[in-house]
Structure formats: structure tokens, C-alpha cells
Amino acid sequence: MKRLLVFLFIAVLALAGCVQTKTEVEGSKDDSKGKGKKAIEVLGMAASEEDMNIVRDQLVKNGFDVKLNIQPDYGSFSAQKEAGNYDLALSSWTTVTGNPDYAVRGLFKTGGDYSTVSDSKLDALIEEASTLTGDEAAAKYKELEQLLVFDQAYIAPLYISNKYQGIYSELVNPKTVHLPKSRAQVWESIEFNDSSKNATEPLILHQTISSLTSLDPIKGNDGSINTLNTNMYVRLVNLTDTDDVVSDGSLSYNHAIAEGNQEYYFILRDDINFSAVKDGAAVDTGELVSAEDVVFSLNRAKDPKSVPDHRTYSLHENIEKVEIVSDLAELQKKKVAGSDQSVFDALSQHLPASVTQLAKDKGTVNNAAGAYQVVKITTPTPFPQVLNYLAHQSGGIVSEKQVTSINTYDVASYNPDKDIAYGDQTTVTEGTATYNNHLYASGPYILVKKNDYEAQFVKNPAYRVGSEYEPKIAKINVRFIADIDSALSALRNGEIHILQSVPETKLDIVKSDSKLTLHTADSNAVSYLLMNTSGRAVSDSADLRKAILYSINQDEFISYYQGNKKPAVSTVSPLVNTGLKLEADSAKVKEYLKASND
């Protein structure tokens, strides 16, 4: 999430031949430096051919010779991208944490999880902006956008998307279905119109990707697992539908930021146990989701070497220390940032009983008797955006006992062909040799099993029992349908019950169907062209990149989507209004093309 974290790369048809090596690509990098038309290759997947056609036409009109390279799926796209077979990749990013640092750190900082950019000035601006709030933050993000887009043209923005959700309201109560701006779909609140069906009928949801990166929340940050892991693992805080950070529906009753914005406190609840799967059903393990598990989970989340192929460590690299607080006096002495209230008083609001002691370990926790656990997170510099990262699916709390019992391999010599890691999809996939569900879920649902058709979840029997956050529906099936038109047809037929992303070009179909309800919300999803920074003419020439930048006319995209898109400048655009704007300019295109030839 963002949502799903997520890249979506698009383009149009290329020969499905062998992938060139990176060396071969670099060897031919000068083939577009002549005085004639500039040859530009655009890479991506087939999912958004319409966008790629518009990009092609705009570039051709401005004097480029465009080669469109479409790949049928993400795997083949990734192989082409890794080989360097592109000048531009049509990309999409959704800031599922609701904070602007997430919109840039992993994408554009040197060494970021998905970054192909290495620019020390940009790195410095990312770090500076992350520590600021309000007008100061907006000013710094304006500097960042100026460098990223207009000075260096590392990306060319296309548009901001809205969110459109289709609900089969003949069966599902649309009032119980959330459509958050950033957070992944909230499962526990959903109910059928006939509540008697909640315990017996499965809710059928939709997902395009059937191959799951990992069910370990720190090992993936993409559309295959973002929603699934968000609903399988509880976090210290949550995002509301409009991106406010709250404790509601999380592992904490309350949280507080101490003076100086470097210390963050969380008082934990004791009404959530880990669930496991036994004989195809979810069972209560009797194991409390505790402060010890929080410390273990966040320490491994911030450590790039804690697991092989760690995809989310950069989100948590600003956590310096995670610890359990044992001294009540510390909470009483500390003041809340910008307030005269003590941290103790801030954490003590609306608890089941007044705090009389801090439990030394999970075995002595008893909220009803006043014994609570408190976790403290320290950052090396003021970094208020740390809370948004804790709301991300990678901040999900796992069982220290279970994960350490599974991950017995040596990380440095990990071999996926023989080593079984916690969360490997093969352990829940029917028919695989390693099928042996070892998951422990701290969230409202747990994955029982999957195949190429769907993934089956059941409610955690030890999650917030008797509260408003206890899951309403007992069984949820996530149906895998790659083609969005087929998914929409399935929604209309009641074969799936919620379509989380209705295409803008299909809104009238949903509106006109009496069995369906359409929900609409703002989103943090931005589509943009990513420039290749290694081995191509665009890699070497900022002038050539700027010529591409000023060829892009966002109004044409907005018109094609019947006004259901918004202008963008960067991935920060839905979060911070910097006042910058990209306008197509053919005169500038000619100027920069000429400069790139000189």
C-alpha cells in the first residue's frame, strides 16, 4: 500500500525474445546520440496500455523515435529492467504510510529499497525534510521536488489517481467497508447485510497478483502482500481513513511523543494473542502479543541483515533503540512534546484500570489489575514521521518464539532452494513439497492456505474478543484475478464482493448497476516516468531527460480519464502542496534537445 507498497510499470508490445545483458545494453548506449531523432525505449507491463499510448504520442510529437516494450507480467518486466533494457519505465507509487518521507526515501535516496538514483544533494534534502513539519517541511519538499523533477529530471510525473471501490451491496453492507486514503483495506469491520451470514459465509475479496512475495511482514513491500500482511499482523499504531496516526485498532491503548520529538511511548493492551493454524482452522496459541515481541519485531525490521532479501529496512532505519520501560517515574517526569502534560498522563487515558505498575515481563501483565507493558522507541534525531512507518505493514508484530524457531538458517549463506524462512509462501501453498503452515498471526486474520485460485483466511479467535475490533466475518477468501475487466465482471455477478480498484474508465458501469455501490476517496497514488540512470543516453544527459519531461502533457491524461485524475509533480504531490507545477512546453523540448546534442 500503500497500500500497498507498490511499483506498477507499463509499456506496449516488444518481441518476447531473450533479455539483453546489462553489458550488452551499456555497449549500445550511444546509439541515440546522433543529430537525428532521439531513440527512446519505454518499458513496462500490459496492464495500462492506454497510458503508454499517450506517452508515446506525446514523445513522437516532440521529435522522439519511440520504441514501446511491453512485458506480460511483473517477473518478465523486472528481468528487462534489471538488464537495463529501457530509457523510461512508466511507474506507480502509493504512499501507504501517509507521510512524505515514505514517498521519496525508498524511491530516490541512494541505496533505497527501490532507488536507481544516486545524488548526494537529493539525499541531503530527503534527510532534512524528514525532520520538519508544517510550513518548514513544505518549503524543504519544494526544494526536493525542484531538484528531482525540474533540475535533474530523474522522473517525469503523469498524474495522481483517485480511489474507486466497487461493493456488491446486494450482499455486503457498504457502510461497513472502509476506503482509506493510504492504509490497506480494513477487513475486520466488514459485515454482510444479513449479519447471520457473518459466521458461515466467506467474504470474497480480490487481488491481481497470485504469487506472494513473503508473509513475513518485513520481507515484502508490494501489492502481492501489503493488504494481506496488514490484516495478519497488528501494529503499534494505525492510520485513519484520512491518514491521521491513531492508537485505535492497534496493539497500543495510547501513544505519546516526549519533548524533543526523539522518544515515543506506547502502552500495550493484553487482549490479543497470536493465532496459529491447526488442522485447517485457526487456534489461540495462548501466547500474548507482548512488549518482548514488539522489541524483537522492530529490531529485525530496522536491521538490513536480519533476513535475506530484506525489503523494508530503510523505512525503519531512523529507529535507534527499542526498549521496554520498567520505571514509572520516567513516564511521570517526561513531558509530552508541546504540552505541560506528562507522558504518564497521556498514556493513562481510557484504560481498563489505572496504571499501578509496569510489568517486568509478559508473564506478569494484567491490565485489569493495573499491570501494563510500555514500549519506548528512540530516534537519533527528531523524526516525527517514525509513527507513520510504524503504521506500515512492515511494522507488524511477529512472534519472537515462532520466528526464531523457523529462521534457523545462516542469513549470509541463505539458499532458497533448501532453507525455509518464516513466511515463505510455499509453506501455505497447496501441493508444494514444503506445505506446512507455520504462521503465527497477531492481527485479526490468519492465512490458512492458498493455491493459484485464491488465498483463504479465517479470523484470529484471540483478537480483541468482545470489542468493536473483533473481526465480524469468520472467513475471507482473496480471489486472484489478473485481468481487471474480468474482476469487474466477477463483481457484477457476485463472484467477488469488493473490487478495491475500479478503473476510471469503468465507473459508469458500477454506478448504473443496482446491485453495486461505488465508494470514492482521495489517494496517494502517483504515476510517473522513471528515467534509467545507468547505461543509456538519458542516464548521461540531464538535458535529454528535461526534453522528455517537457514533452509530457498531463492535461491529456486527465482528459482521457474524464477528469478523474489530478496533476502531479512528484510522489510527494498528494501529501504536500509545494506550489510547483509541470506544464508541457514544446519550445523547451527543442531547447533541451539541442543542448543534449551539443
Q: Is the pLDDT of residue 155 over 50?
A: yes
Which band of pLDDT confidence, cut at 50, 70 and 90, is reported for residue 8? very low
Mean pLDDT computed over every residue of the chain? 92
Rg (CA), the chain: 25
Q: What angle do CA 314, 11, 574 make, to 5 degrees?
A: 45
Which band of pLDDT confidence, cut at 50, 70 and 90, is reported for residue 11? very low
Give the chain's domains with CATH numbers: 22-162+523-597 (3.40.190.10), 235-271+290-398 (3.90.76.10)
Q: Is the pLDDT of residue 311 over 90?
A: no
The side-by-side arrangement of strands in the sheet containing 263-268 is 252-257, 263-268, 374-378, 321-325
**Measured between alpha carbons, how far is 415 from 305 in angstroms, rounded to an integer?**
15
**pLDDT score recorded for residue 220:** 85
SS3 for 157?
A: strand
Which band of pLDDT confidence, cut at 50, 70 and 90, is reported for residue 22? very low
| Burial class of residue 130, CB neighbours in 10 A (0-12, 13-18, 19+) | buried
**Measured between alpha carbons, how far is 328 from 349 in angstroms, rounded to an integer?**
16
Say if residues 59 and 548 touch (Cβ distance below 8 Å).
Answer: yes
Q: Is the pLDDT of residue 30 over 70?
A: no
Q: Please state, in angstroms and as integers, the Cα–Cα distance from residue 140 to each residue in 112, 169, 528, following that order.
A: 20, 45, 21
**Measured between alpha carbons, how far is 148 from 104 in angstroms, rounded to an integer?**
10
pTM of the prediction? 0.85
pLDDT tens digits, one per residue of 324-372: 999 999 999 999 999 999 999 999 999 999 999 999 899 999 999 999 9
Say if residues 38 and 218 touch (Cβ distance below 8 Å).
Answer: no
**pLDDT score recorded for residue 19:** 44
Say if residues 321 and 327 touch (Cβ distance below 8 Å).
Answer: no
Higher pLDDT: 217 or 2? It is 217
Q: Indicate if the alpha-carbon torsion angle 23, 25, 28, 30 is positive or negative.
A: negative
**Measured between alpha carbons, how far is 268 from 359 in angstroms, rounded to an integer?**
11
Say if residues 243 and 322 touch (Cβ distance below 8 Å).
Answer: no
Q: Please state, in angstroms and as integers, the Cα–Cα distance from residue 80 to each residue in 4, 413, 537, following that order.
A: 23, 27, 17
The residue-averaged pLDDT of 401-414 equals 96
pLDDT tens digits, one per residue of 512-535: 999 999 999 999 999 999 999 999
Which residue do the cell numbers 509545494 mark? 578
**Measured between alpha carbons, how far is 108 from 13 in angstroms, rounded to an integer?**
28
**pLDDT score recorded for residue 153:** 98
The answer for residues whose C-beta is within 8 angstroms of residue 379's C-beta and 6 or more apart is 261, 262, 264, 318, 319, 320, 386
Packing angle between helix 586-597 and helix 542-549, nearest 10 degrees? 160
Say if residues 171 and 192 touch (Cβ distance below 8 Å).
Answer: yes
